[in-house]
Structure 1
Amino acid sequence: MIGIHSVVRGVGSYLPQKVLTNADLAEMVDTSDEWIVQRTGIKERHVAAEGEFTSALGLKAAQAALADAGLVADDIDLIILATSTPDQTFPATAVTIQSELGITRGAAFDLQAVCSGFVFAIATADAHLRTGAFKRALVIGAETFSRILDWNDRGTCVLFGDGAGAIVLEGVPADEAKGRGVLTSHLRSDGRHRSKLFVDGGPSSTGTVGHLRMEGREVFKHAVGMITDVIVDAFAATGESAETIDWFVPHQANRRIIDASAQKLGIAPEKVVTTVQSHGNTSAASIPLALDVARKDGRIKPGDLVLLEAMGGGFTWGSALLRW
């Protein structure tokens, strides 16, 4: 049997219109532009409008990805939405997007791995496409983290933003793919660290939504080692290296984490795609948002080798290596 590769057909993104700058935040909590930039690299972030839900952001990113792929909604038979901020406890926000797109076949579901969600979703979609059970997948990362922030906590409210990004993956016979597609993915979790980054609410525990809580120093301490672990695995699985990749597109959590990870791996700074300065940490949306920026400005081109990585609450972390 001829193997199937999951090839990227299109990419799209959406950011809410409202921009929240560091100066704006300095009027809300005891902070400053200098303090935020020095510690995180973030200068501004986008915030969803009242009544603008995660599904609305995800829908617009999905429509942009379909247009970029030259496809219509009916060409899609699988939707995987990575999010930690669904519209409702259930049903899955993915089915709302499915309905809004007018798709009535195939499957749609949410995947929750916090900031690692998009990498986990790519791996999941790739596994389904390789079986031949589905032909084309919309893989979406969409978040409205502004809804779960404690706006009096300067240690967390300055970090996060809202947004959405999406890619279209298509299952293509290996001989037609000609080396393109998802080459490998590596996923990890370690629940011993769940109290270091979590939301203090939930349907089963408190019956409330809750707010994001984080032990910032602990997260930073673990991040670089965990990130490099799964990237080393990706290189070992494919024979690629820091020298052979064209682009490194990490989760946009913190500029210091991004820089330290790239340095530890020996990835040249000019290969690193960073959007954290203008988007903040958009959790599962950050990688597809960055992919769309780098594709649109001409950096990522067909045939390029693109390395993705992320780490999130749980802890969860993962990598994916793909040929564009």
Structure 2
Amino acid sequence: MAGQREEQVVDTPHIRILSVGTALPGPPVDNAALARRFGMDALWEQWVDAFIGTRNRHLAVDIGTGEIRASLSGLGETAARRALENAGVRPDEVDLVVMATATPEQLMPATVNVICDRLGIDDVPTYQLQSGCSGAVQALDVAHQMLQTGRHRTALVIGADVLARFYDCDAELAQLPPEQLVNYVLFGDGAGAAVLSTDPGAGRCELVSVRTRLTGLNQEAGATLEWFGPVDRHSERPAATEDYKAIERRVPEMSEETLHELLDDLDWREEDVTYLLPPQLSGRMTRRIVERLGLAGAEEVSCVNTTGNNANALVFFQLERALERLAPGERAIGIAVESSKWIKAGFALEGV
């Protein structure tokens, strides 16, 4: 029609993952070291091996002395610097930063802004998401959506946690209830980061889909982390709890739902998936989940047996391994499940 303005069609940019960087604190702490430190016998060590299946974890606290040897912001800075260097991207070229953590150093300032200050990043939008194991995927989702608007070109996405802050190095583990005891063997500390870009000629991997969903309506929390202030500092509430039985029951089911939702969204078949990045609660749970998902032709990308469950960092340790292997045309599915109020999250990659 004459005089009517024509609609301008703008292509949604494809989002590439340029690189990943990771950081772990201190040497690995194996189950025997935990048993010695907390006065547990050899049967306890065998129980951890058989029923948890995680052999090592890296801790930001020296369990022998109680000394803090790494901080959340320090680990996050190291991982971010490595990701930027691997991508060949300068800090001043980053125009969006998103971070996920369940264990911020302070309520204010946000740890993401402390990390940006150390990196020399300024005058850009920054976001910090407080979430557990699904938080890394939520951060990727936020960055993915914001990059697709075309207003940003290069995003730095960070996931990091220091869960050893919640250890009581003087605890007598033999007297702890299961929902507190399990935290001493499941978790580790660490950080990871990825650089995302809208540059169509950059990188070897496209982030083709990300999805996260809260599914915990009227459900009891499966995990808790408390924040104590001066008024309730001496509360008798435990700092951290884990309903491992509920997690064992629900996480495999939620993982299977997420897998099929991603495949349906993308119109992919199960046999199209080359690599599977499964949830990483523990070595034993990972095996159960992989068996349930039944992607017989997909190669598993896992690291929890050696890193421990370091929460928001874990997805980046898996991504680091996956990017080394992903060839043009190959596809990968990643899944993360958070038990605090039951969030299922997943993402899909394709080699380019």
| TM-score in terms of structure 2 length | 0.84
**d(CA) in 2 for partners of 1:74, 1:147:** 32
Q: How does 1:41-120 map to 2 (within 5 A)?
A: 41-49=53-61, 50-120=68-138
Q: Which amino acid aligns with 1:195?
A: A
**d(CA) in 1 for partners of 2:122, 2:22:** 23
Change (3 A) 1:245 1:145: same
**d(CA) in 1 for partners of 2:164, 2:81:** 23
**d(CA) in 2 for partners of 1:161, 1:237:** 33
Corresponding position of 1:186: 211
Structure 1 residue 252 displacement after superposition: 1.6
* 240, 247, 252: which one aligns with 2:268: 240
**d(CA) in 2 for partners of 1:275, 1:93:** 25
Preserved contact between residue 30 and residue 154 of structure 1 (Cα < 8 Å): no
**d(CA) in 2 for partners of 1:85, 1:277:** 22
Structure 1 residue 178 displacement after superposition: 11
| 3-state SS of 1:68 partner | helix
Change (3 A) 1:78 1:207: farther
Preserved contact between residue 18 and residue 48 of structure 1 (Cα < 8 Å): no
Corresponding position of 2:243: 215
Preserved contact between residue 11 and residue 167 of structure 1 (Cα < 8 Å): yes
Matching of residue 271 in structure 1 with residue 299 in structure 2: yes
* 119, 122, 129: which one aligns with 2:140: 122
Q: Tell me which moved more, 143-152 or 127-136.
A: 143-152
Preserved contact between residue 25 and residue 59 of structure 2 (Cα < 8 Å): yes
Change (3 A) 1:245 1:113: same
Q: How does 1:197-212 map to 2 (within 5 A)?
A: 197-202=223-228, 206=232, 211-212=239-240
Structure 1 residue 69 displacement after superposition: 0.7
Show CA shifts across 1:148-198 (max 9, x none): 23554432211100011111111235xx57995222222111153353211
Change (3 A) 1:283 1:178: closer
| 3-state SS of 1:16 partner | coil
Corresponding position of 1:21: 30
Preserved contact between residue 250 and residue 287 of structure 1 (Cα < 8 Å): no
Q: Tell me which moved more, 199-208 or 260-269.
A: 199-208
Which blocks of at least 5 consecutive residues in structure 2 are unaligned? 1-9, 62-67, 174-179
Preserved contact between residue 262 and residue 269 of structure 1 (Cα < 8 Å): no
Bigger radius of gyration, 1 or 2?
2
Q: Give RMSD over aligned pairs.
A: 2.4
Structure 1 residue 30 displacement after superposition: 3.3
Corresponding position of 1:315: 342
Identity of aligned residues (%): 28
Q: Which amino acid aligns with 1:292?
A: E
Q: Tell me which moved more, 260-269 or 182-191.
A: 260-269
Corresponding position of 1:37: 49
**d(CA) in 2 for partners of 1:11, 1:54:** 18
Preserved contact between residue 44 and residue 278 of structure 1 (Cα < 8 Å): yes
Structure 1 residue 71 displacement after superposition: 1.1
Corresponding position of 1:287: 315
Change (3 A) 1:202 1:278: same
Preserved contact between residue 262 and residue 268 of structure 1 (Cα < 8 Å): no
Change (3 A) 1:93 1:200: closer
* 160, 164, 174: which one aligns with 2:191: 164
Aligned residues between the structures: 320
Structure 1 residue 74 displacement after superposition: 1.0
Change (3 A) 1:24 1:75: same
Which contiguous aligned blocks of 4+ residues in structure 1 show a shift greater than 6 angstroms?
Answer: none
Which blocks of at least 5 consecutive residues in structure 1 are unaligned? none
**d(CA) in 1 for partners of 2:94, 2:343:** 28
| TM-score in terms of structure 1 length | 0.91
Q: Which amino acid aligns with 2:227?
A: G
**d(CA) in 1 for partners of 2:78, 2:203:** 31
